[in-house]
A and B are shown apart, each in its own frame.
Chain A
Amino acid sequence: MKAYKYVGKPIPRQDVSKVFGDAIYAYDVKLPGMLYAKLVGSTYAHARIKRIDYSKALKVPGVIKVFTGEDFPFKVGIYAADRDVLARGKVLYYGHPVAGVVAETPEAAEEAAELIEVEYEPLEPVLTIEDALRPDAPLIHEHMEEYRHASFIYPRPGTNIANYLKLRKGNVKKGFEEADVVVEGEYREPLISHAYMENWVGIARVLSDGTVEIWSSHQSPFAVRHLLAASLGLPIGKVVVHHTFIGGGFGGKAGLLLEHIPVLFSMKLGGRPVRLELNREENFLFMAQRAGYLFKMKTGATKDGKLIAHYGEYYLDAGAYADYTVNIGRSVGFVPTGPYEVPNIHVDSITVYTNKVPTTAFRGFGMQEMHFAFEQQIEQLAEKLGMDPLEFRLKNAIVPGKSYLPTQVRVREDAGDPAGTMKRAAELISWGKKPEKPGEPWKFRGIGIASFWKGPVQPPNAASSAIVKVNEDGSVDVLVGTGEMGQGTIYALAQIVAEELGIPVEKVRVAPIRSTDSVAYTWQTVGSRGLFSEGQALMRALDDLKNQMKEIAARVFNVFKDEIEIKDGKACVKGKPWECISLAEMALGYTLPNGNAIHGPLIGRGSHVPSQTTYLDPETGRGEPKPFMTFGTSAVEVEVDLLNMRVRVLKAVTVLDTPVINPGLALGQAYGGAVMGISIALNEELKLTKDGRLLNPNFTDYKVARAGDIPVEMVAEFLGVGQKNAPYGAKGVGELTMIAWPAAIANAIYNAIGVRIKKLPITPDNLLEAIKEQRPELLKELDKYLLGGE
């Protein structure tokens, strides 16, 4: 990568308000006359509501109103309007909000909430993918045919299927006939939670002119605005969404969350501000979580080590409302295999409703889950072929400009360097070298590798824009719609501005706190698209600004515009460094010696929309789904302890092909992504009872990795192979850093003890069970070591 002054440098983020405690979160917003809302949830997973009695709740002093589903006879939702504001007629999962109390104080709201009584008629709950698909399964959504839905979503009324995606490439039947080895497997992942630190909160009010204002914890202010307006039939110009710092999102705060609830309550209460603040238990039950998965895969290769055919039935367990999950079903359907060329593919990706907590987007958007399955298929095929799994991967890796995507479109020439990441990750994990043997005979070490790819899943026309304003002192304000949730995209954007204008990065401000009515539009802050998309809009805004600077300088120095260059925050005549005008001098326009002024304030504007992405064919999935793909490979060394059945990650390596704007922020993502991926691999699961009650809506029993679980050694590298249209070549990084860990860990466990793990999480219980099934002799050995054998 070319040497730049700011781009590519690990510049610490300028905004340190989080460190000093003066960062404002939605939680901090308190308005005069604010009321407090509290939701109560159903105690059944599936039941008809026969009666709701809130007379006792209304008697609590300070209680203003109790709302139930009948107060809001319409549905909301992002891709399909499948969600009631509050349950109407039926409850669809344990915890389903059935009523909302509004009171003058939070104490009164909490006291009243406990006094609400609901009479239910229990129905059979549908709790597994298999049960949901039974021909005689109870219907969770009985009137699905009435739901509004996006044109690219294919629900099947009369069933529990929320979306059905078909992908067809080549001739899979013929492919399997040519295959010399075939591997079949079933892989599962449970529902999990984003486990972000900041519970959701929203504060809404309706002004007397009808303007709806909301402050809430969300990733994508413009998505909240669009979905609020569309769901509630409000004019979009009358909806203002205020974006604050957010304490983590991971996809769980991507779309419309519960914003409509305080908005609707406020609308019904004369516009008084209403605050709905969730505690941890409520956040587990009222907010959407991540879907569960079942992958059935059959993959074939020829004896010379070429992938030839792949057949898949993919199922997503979406819970009661499918939100983004229908689109994740599409995502894993049209990228159904790893970063390899597979000539013949037949995949059906089916998203089903169940009577569980609703689900939504999650970091990786299905790619962690798909790779967990597919990267184990790869290893098993390599084993059957007697090939080194790394060599097998390299042999089949996507070749930019030559290979074809599963959606039949040729991979762009400058797409990246999949093979490069495989080779480098292998080097960093000492591939081929046997790991050291631990002292105790019941401990085993192994190494595992997994490659991956991912790009944003977005409509083909997902747009971004940017505005650059110059202040009187030559400093610059950047207006973008990018959410700041800790990933730091806005600080990387500031570095681009500094580089392009040649001004110190301290003079560039991208405010983390802003509102939809005062920043430039972006579709959403999801899918690792922020820097790539807003970055392109910003580059255009800077071109626009530089052009204006040149015009002013050209007039002042009486030269042609192309004789002006922008350097160190100044517009100068080329070759005459004494003929310059600084940004400060022309911030509000340039004033000539006689007082005449020219141009007025400098404002650069830029827009971006992908030019090559398309809708996908409904029968085959053919089309260009993504503006970019980032390629990478992760590798781990693990230690498996058969005494306590725990897996420890000793070393975690990840290599991405892309250059990065700020290596410090990128490493932060890489380390965080590794810990999150390892936590998902080893710990995380939303556990239900047989009748569908959530057992662990808390961090006591929803286990997230702690500081003590971080790998001993973590290494991340970025190869610097950029995509031409990306800002400084930089593609997305955020999600990519967490995708491959479960797959790499499963492969490493196989390398260590010869047990193949096809179900997450790899808890001690599940590992013990897998060992008993696959290699009971390992326990016999443990008997021998510790009890002297039988």
Chain B
Amino acid sequence: MRTVLAFRTILPTFTYHRPSSLAELLELKAKLGKDAAILAGGTDLLVDMKMGVKRPPHVIDIKSIKELHVLEYKEGSGLIIGPTVTLRELETNSLLKEKYPVLWDAVRKIADVALRERATLAGNIANASPAADSAPALLVYDAKVELTSVNGSRLVPLREFFTGVKKTVMKENEVITKIMVPEPPAGAKGEYFKAVRSAEDLALVGIAALVANPNNPAERVVRLAYASVAPTPVYVKEVEELFKKDEPLNKLIKEAVNIMLSKVSPISDVRATREYRLHLVKYVTAYLLRKLLGVK
């Protein structure tokens, strides 16, 4: 353990790789494993490296791999977002705003424009911060992550992707090659609520809410997902099931809030107290549900 504080101005030395094809990337990753970090936007990686949180001997810059820069939407099957697509590209995409308003809302609330010009959606997910703003939004759309290695690809639901603070199911030789966001339920609307200390902040608590067909219990879809309330982003399936019940919405909202309060485990840290985070979970959940379900 270090016995002095030494803060770097200059990044520590590392070997820089810039593959131009996916095959080359996978070969490198197979060879270097956890010694190699992936650089796309670099807005988390470079900070971590400077602060000494990460010291990868190799950095693989994936920005010149053309096939990874994909942003496609197909009616019925949904959205495909490649790992080098920046948050700013998503924010300025009118289709995303129209079809995936919760994701769009979350993306535009991440940091500031300058950062969003660099940062990528895949990076926000791969970094696996409990405060990742895009995670709750992707969770309510039931997004899937395509992980690829020299041995092939696998599709992991985002709901199974995060395993702990900054931990995921990704293997050492795998990289994210796609984020797939299915077609949302017909008529779905929603928003991302982000509690902050100042304009442009990390989420003290982030809440993604998606609602479709509020007045028809059989068809009704209500999904909630949270950032910064537990070691991983939180999605609670029970809420979605609860709202299938043909009961007064007022009562269901109250029950949903109670379920959520039992599922979150916020901590007190430098950004906010546990008490404040619980206040937000309780009241903002109710506020969003009432608003989106049209309860007066």
Task: Report if A644-B284 is in contact (Cβ < 8 Å); known contacts: A42-B4, A769-B275.
Answer: yes
Q: At the interface, yes or no: A389 with Cβ under 8 Å from chain B?
A: no
Residues of A in contact with B (beta carbons under 8 Å apart): 38, 40-43, 94-95, 98-99, 106-107, 110-111, 113-114, 116-120, 277, 279, 281-282, 285, 643-645, 679, 682-683, 687, 695-697, 700-701, 703-709, 763-765, 768-769, 782, 786-788
CB distance from A211 to the nearest CB of B (A): 29
- What are 26 contact pairs spanning A and B, CB under 8 A? A40-B6, A41-B4, A41-B6, A42-B4, A94-B5, A95-B5, A107-B13, A110-B8, A111-B12, A113-B6, A114-B52, A117-B4, A118-B3, A119-B3, A644-B195, A645-B276, A687-B270, A703-B197, A703-B201, A706-B198, A708-B200, A763-B197, A768-B279, A787-B254, A787-B282, A787-B286
* Complex Cα–Cα for A272 and B51 (A): 30
CB distance from A591 to the nearest CB of B (A): 58
Q: At the interface, yes or no: B145 with Cβ under 8 Å from chain A?
A: no
Q: Are A764 and B276 in contact (CB under 8 A)?
A: yes
Q: Which of A114, A703, A708 contacts B2 (CB 8 A)?
A: A114
Q: At the interface, yes or no: B93 with Cβ under 8 Å from chain A?
A: no
Q: At the interface, yes or no: B280 with Cβ under 8 Å from chain A?
A: yes
Which B residues lie within 8 Å of A116 (CB)?
Answer: 3-4, 6
* Complex Cα–Cα for A120 and B4 (A): 10
Q: Are A701 and B198 in contact (CB under 8 A)?
A: no
* Complex Cα–Cα for A277 and B8 (A): 11
Q: Which of B280, B282, B286 contacts A644 (CB 8 A)?
A: B280
Q: Are B3 and A120 in contact (CB under 8 A)?
A: yes
Residues of B in contact with A (beta carbons under 8 Å apart): 2-10, 12-13, 51-52, 112, 195, 197-202, 204, 250, 253-254, 257, 270-273, 275-276, 279-280, 282-284, 286-287, 290
* Complex Cα–Cα for A683 and B272 (A): 12
* Complex Cα–Cα for A120 and B2 (A): 12
Which B residues lie within 8 Å of A99 (CB)?
Answer: 4
* Complex Cα–Cα for A702 and B12 (A): 25
* Interface SS, A side: mixed
CB distance from A645 to the nearest CB of B (A): 7
Q: Are B9 and A765 in contact (CB under 8 A)?
A: no
Q: Are A764 and B3 in contact (CB under 8 A)?
A: no
- The chain B residue with its CB closest to the CB of A440 is B287
Task: Report if A706-B4 is in contact (Cβ < 8 Å); known contacts: A768-B276, A768-B279.
Answer: no
Q: Are B9 and A110 in contact (CB under 8 A)?
A: yes
A281, A679, A697, A765, most chain B CB atoms within 10 A: A765
Task: Report if A279-B3 is in contact (Cβ < 8 Å); known contacts: A782-B283, A786-B290.
Answer: no
Q: Are B9 and A277 in contact (CB under 8 A)?
A: yes
Q: Are B2 and A43 in contact (CB under 8 A)?
A: yes
Q: Are B204 and A764 in contact (CB under 8 A)?
A: yes
Which B residues lie within 8 Å of A695 (CB)?
Answer: 270
CB distance from B152 to the nearest CB of A (A): 38
Q: Are B199 and A700 in contact (CB under 8 A)?
A: no
Task: Report if A683-B3 is in contact (Cβ < 8 Å); known contacts: A106-B10, A701-B270, A768-B275.
Answer: no
Q: Are B270 and A285 in contact (CB under 8 A)?
A: no
- The chain A residue with its CB closest to the CB of B284 is A643
Task: Report if A786-B287 is in contact (Cβ < 8 Å); known contacts: A644-B280, A645-B279.
Answer: yes
Q: Which of A43, A279, A697, A708 contacts B199 (CB 8 A)?
A: A708
Q: Are B198 and A113 in contact (CB under 8 A)?
A: no
Which A residues lie within 8 Å of B250 (CB)?
Answer: 788
- The chain A residue with its CB closest to the CB of B290 is A786
Task: Report if A114-B6 is in contact (Cβ < 8 Å); known contacts: A704-B198, A786-B286.
Answer: yes
Which B residues lie within 8 Å of A696 (CB)?
Answer: 270
Which A residues lie within 8 Å of B8 (CB)?
Answer: 110, 279
Task: Report if A705-B195 is in contact (Cβ < 8 Å); known contacts: A118-B4, A786-B286.
Answer: no
Q: Which of A106, A281, A765, A788 contacts B273 (CB 8 A)?
A: A765
Query: What 5 A-B pairs have minimum CB-CB distances, sorted nearest first?
Result: A708-B199, A41-B5, A281-B7, A40-B4, A113-B6
Q: Are B200 and A706 in contact (CB under 8 A)?
A: yes
* Complex Cα–Cα for A764 and B275 (A): 10
Q: Are B197 and A764 in contact (CB under 8 A)?
A: yes
Q: Are A706 and B199 in contact (CB under 8 A)?
A: yes
Which B residues lie within 8 Å of A765 (CB)?
Answer: 272-273, 275-276
Q: Are A110 and B6 in contact (CB under 8 A)?
A: yes
Which A residues lie within 8 Å of B4 (CB)?
Answer: 40-43, 98-99, 113-114, 116-118
* Complex Cα–Cα for A317 and B130 (A): 35
Q: Are A683 and B6 in contact (CB under 8 A)?
A: no
* Complex Cα–Cα for A106 and B250 (A): 63
Q: Are A705 and B198 in contact (CB under 8 A)?
A: yes
* Complex Cα–Cα for A325 and B9 (A): 30
Q: Are A643 and B287 in contact (CB under 8 A)?
A: yes
* Complex Cα–Cα for A99 and B276 (A): 41
* Complex Cα–Cα for A43 and B4 (A): 6
CB distance from A187 to the nearest CB of B (A): 21
